[in-house]
A and B are shown apart, each in its own frame.
Chain A
Amino acid sequence: MWALDQPYAPRADHLLADTPLALLAALAVGAGTAAVLVELAVLPPHVSRVAGVTAAHGALLATALAWARVSAASPVIAVALIGLAAAVSQLGVLGSLAYLGPALWVGFLSARGRLTSLGLGTPVSLGRVAAGVLVGTGLSGHLLVSASRTLGVHIRVDHAAEALAAIAYDVGANVLAGECFFRGALFNRAERRWSFAAASTVATSAYLLRYLVDPLLPKSVELMIGAVFYLALLGAMNCWLLSSSGSLVPGLVSASIFFAAYRTLGVR
């Protein structure tokens, strides 16, 4: 028993320890420079989007990997792969398959047991994965029904390629980076300091903030309220899934299903 056998020392490190500040600063500078150059029409507009995606998701994933204390190169590689995928995806729908790169890199690190502190590469029961499926499906179902009934947003079948590209983006960047950072890293660390309620509130609030400041989120009040509603539920439930299973996989599954459902809607 730990309380009898192991030496006890009050926690000394702070919540944001091991943050790769230099890398984050570089990403911020890169994204800012790209935005200025695009604004000055020196660079084409899509460069700004590539830089933004790279900076936002790269920062989240790199921070998560750095907090997991993998090698110093791993966060840089993850950022590079996200940047490459963002750039290649501009070439066409098939280019979006490049988003599998970051996912494969994270999968590789997980398989080598380097990301157990994020809840990746740890054993997970099928029941918990099924719970993740249930959460994702339930929220997706509600989203599709309420969106169509209240907002008049319907499922579109005429943009399958675009939806598939978006799903690839979610799997390789949006969901992957979000879950790795907000749940695997932030919630996990917070829960080791505070109660589940406090930790999930912190992680979910940060998760909501990240989407509310996302320039890709349509700026209509209804959609923003809907985003807060669903993302708060998704975030809180994924915190519970991680806390109860010890694995990030159920949360990745539920978020992937939810965002896949979201992509089927013709939201502009």
Chain B
Amino acid sequence: MRLVAAALVAVTALIALEDSGPASLLRHAYLVPVLAAALRFGAVGGGLAAAAAMLLSAPVVLPEIERSGLTTEAIEGLVTFAVLGLVGVLSGVLRGRLGRHRRRYEILVTIQRTLADEAPLDLSLARLRAALADRLRVDEIALVACDGERLAVAGGARVADRSLVARVLATGEPVFVSDAGARGRARRAFATPLMSRGRAVGVLAVERTGEISVGERVALEAVGAHVGVALENARLVSCQRRFAAELEERVTAARRELEELDRAKSAFVAIASHELRTPLTALQGFSEILALRRLPPEEVTRLAEVMRREARRLGRIVSDLLDLSRIERGLEPALCRVPLEIEPTIEATVDLFRQGTATHLITTECEPSLPLVAADPDALERVLTNLISNAIKYSPTGSSVRVGARALAGAVAIEVADAGRGIPTEALQRVFEPYYRVPDAAGVAHGTGIGLAVVKALVEAHGGTVRVDSTPTIGTRVTVVLPAPSGPFLDTPRRSRVG
């Protein structure tokens, strides 16, 4: 500015020294500072420099008009005025337009760069606000973006009801406020929606003490639209990345699960082979003895009893395998439900175990007058057999196993409790999974890992529930709840097939 002023003064001094009137060739030298001011300060600078040049040369031009009227020299001086004004203002306008275009381009690049990084919305907004504050040359700037039900705000704590930003967010229309309520100098505010797919997803608000011209407002609207699209793109990219990561995580988990299942199945095949082989070996051995030797009748009876028990065991394993096969195919076990008294069923099953084992004390505690349940007798026997068998297998010799039943509202609860080693908490969630065996259980007793899975499937096929409560070193209690419907079903007993 000082250089421009000095140049104007210097040109004026030279014209005055030359004293050749308004048509002095030196008057063209005014163009240099006027152009410099226009290129440096825009239209206002160019216009002011031109006005200053006119003022400085007026004492040369105007007296000529006063003295001699509109002579050629005077007209040349006036034309110089017009040229200076035009050059100053037009050059300044063009320079200003160029500067605006450059700034707009820089802003767009800034927006893209800022939102290219994957970051949480609040952080992205804060970064974008900082970048825009540098570029937009405003006193205050705020960015608000919708994040589901929440509003993310950069540049303030919150959006007050009935505020300018709230209004723009609600209407989706830009609003210019020429008086933002400040005393002293006039303060302008402008808020424009961040548009994406035809709806406002946020607001860009700026405030400045001084002018926010129409051109700037149009540019800000364009910036708002661009930020809206960029934010939406960033959100979509973030969603896509999150989805991809989640998908990868799920695939990894599924692969891990499949591998584990594969390992479990391999283990199951080995175990099942062993479990099947044991009764088969017994049956084969005893049948050979019976065929080849002549034994006393009581020995024959004993061996026949052993063979019957092993055959039952074999049958149970085969039934479990068949049920498991149905479960894995997404089918429910085949049931034939009839009104059934629980207590005799429990007593009968427990008796079988009492006859077969002398290692544990098995007690029964059934409430009197238990309601009838709608159950398949065979299925219920298998449920009880599995549970009691587990209780015996996983509790120390000499301990007691308690089997009980009590009435609930519209149901009967059957409990099988032992005083065994218990089940670790982390394994409780998985004990009903097929093939799953509690770690280190294999060293304690034989098992296929499908018993509880079959129990669960059978109970749920009855419309009941099963739950395991266990405290390590104290014992385990399995509770089976079966519905006991009242009404016509029990009054007129009939057999129904489920599944």
Q: Does B179 contact A (CB under 8 A)?
A: yes
Q: Which of A231-268 contact B (CB under 8 A)?
A: 243-247
Q: Does A211 contact B (CB under 8 A)?
A: no
The answer to whether A246 and B177 touch across the interface, beta carbons within 8 angstroms, is no
Residues in chain B near residue A151, CB distance under 8 A: 66
The smallest C-beta distance from B209 to any residue of chain A, in angstroms, reads 8
The answer to whether A149 and B59 touch across the interface, beta carbons within 8 angstroms, is yes
The smallest C-beta distance from A170 to any residue of chain B, in angstroms, reads 23
The answer to whether B178 and A3 touch across the interface, beta carbons within 8 angstroms, is no
With A and B bound together, what is the CA distance between A150 and B64 in angstroms?
Answer: 9
Residues in chain A near residue B159, CB distance under 8 A: 4
The smallest C-beta distance from B92 to any residue of chain A, in angstroms, reads 15
Q: Does B58 contact A (CB under 8 A)?
A: yes
Residues in chain A near residue B161, CB distance under 8 A: 7
The answer to whether B59 and A150 touch across the interface, beta carbons within 8 angstroms, is yes
The smallest C-beta distance from B171 to any residue of chain A, in angstroms, reads 12
With A and B bound together, what is the CA distance between A245 and B140 in angstroms?
Answer: 19
In chain A, what residue has the closest Cβ to B64?
A: A150
With A and B bound together, what is the CA distance between A1 and B177 in angstroms?
Answer: 14
The answer to whether B58 and A146 touch across the interface, beta carbons within 8 angstroms, is yes
Q: Does B442 contact A (CB under 8 A)?
A: no
The answer to whether A1 and B155 touch across the interface, beta carbons within 8 angstroms, is yes
Q: Does A23 contact B (CB under 8 A)?
A: no
The answer to whether B179 and A193 touch across the interface, beta carbons within 8 angstroms, is yes
* Stretch from B33-41, B76-84, B185-193, B465-473 that touches the partner: B185-193
Q: Which of B135-193 contact A (CB under 8 A)?
A: 140, 142, 144, 153, 155-165, 167, 175, 177-187, 189, 191
Residues in chain B near residue A194, CB distance under 8 A: 178
With A and B bound together, what is the CA distance between A192 and B179 in angstroms?
Answer: 5
Residues in chain A near residue B156, CB distance under 8 A: 1, 4-5
With A and B bound together, what is the CA distance between A149 and B66 in angstroms?
Answer: 9
In chain B, what residue has the closest Cβ to A8?
A: B164
The answer to whether A2 and B189 touch across the interface, beta carbons within 8 angstroms, is yes
The answer to whether B59 and A2 touch across the interface, beta carbons within 8 angstroms, is no
With A and B bound together, what is the CA distance between A1 and B158 in angstroms?
Answer: 10
The answer to whether A8 and B162 touch across the interface, beta carbons within 8 angstroms, is yes
Residues in chain A near residue B205, CB distance under 8 A: 1, 3-4
> Quick one: given A142-B55, A146-B59, A192-B178, are A3 and B184 in contact (CB under 8 Å)?
no
In chain A, what residue has the closest Cβ to B209?
A: A246
One of B55, B59, B163, B186 near A3 (C-beta < 8 A) = B163
> Quick one: given A145-B59, A196-B211, are A3 and B183 in contact (CB under 8 Å)?
no
The answer to whether A246 and B184 touch across the interface, beta carbons within 8 angstroms, is yes
The answer to whether A243 and B184 touch across the interface, beta carbons within 8 angstroms, is no
Residues in chain B near residue A192, CB distance under 8 A: 178-179, 186
Residues in chain B near residue A2, CB distance under 8 A: 140, 164, 180-182, 187, 189, 207
The answer to whether B213 and A122 touch across the interface, beta carbons within 8 angstroms, is no
Q: Does A116 contact B (CB under 8 A)?
A: yes
Residues in chain B near residue A191, CB distance under 8 A: 178, 186
One of B158, B177, B179, B184 near A116 (C-beta < 8 A) = B184
Residues in chain A near residue B186, CB distance under 8 A: 188, 191-192, 243
Residues in chain A near residue B229, CB distance under 8 A: none
Residues in chain B near residue A149, CB distance under 8 A: 59, 62-63
With A and B bound together, what is the CA distance between A193 and B179 in angstroms?
Answer: 7
Q: Does B210 contact A (CB under 8 A)?
A: yes
One of B142, B175, B187, B210 near A4 (C-beta < 8 A) = B142
With A and B bound together, what is the CA distance between A7 and B62 in angstroms?
Answer: 56
Q: Does A54 contact B (CB under 8 A)?
A: no
The answer to whether B183 and A4 touch across the interface, beta carbons within 8 angstroms, is no
One of B66, B164, B178, B183 near A117 (C-beta < 8 A) = B183
The answer to whether A8 and B140 touch across the interface, beta carbons within 8 angstroms, is no
- Chain A to chain B: the 6 pairs with minimum beta-carbon distance, closest first: A192-B179, A246-B185, A246-B184, A4-B156, A3-B205, A8-B164
List 17 A-B residue pairs with CB atoms under 8 Å apart, sorted by A's residue number: A1-B155, A1-B156, A2-B189, A4-B153, A6-B160, A6-B181, A7-B160, A8-B177, A122-B184, A142-B58, A146-B62, A188-B186, A192-B186, A193-B179, A195-B178, A195-B211, A195-B214
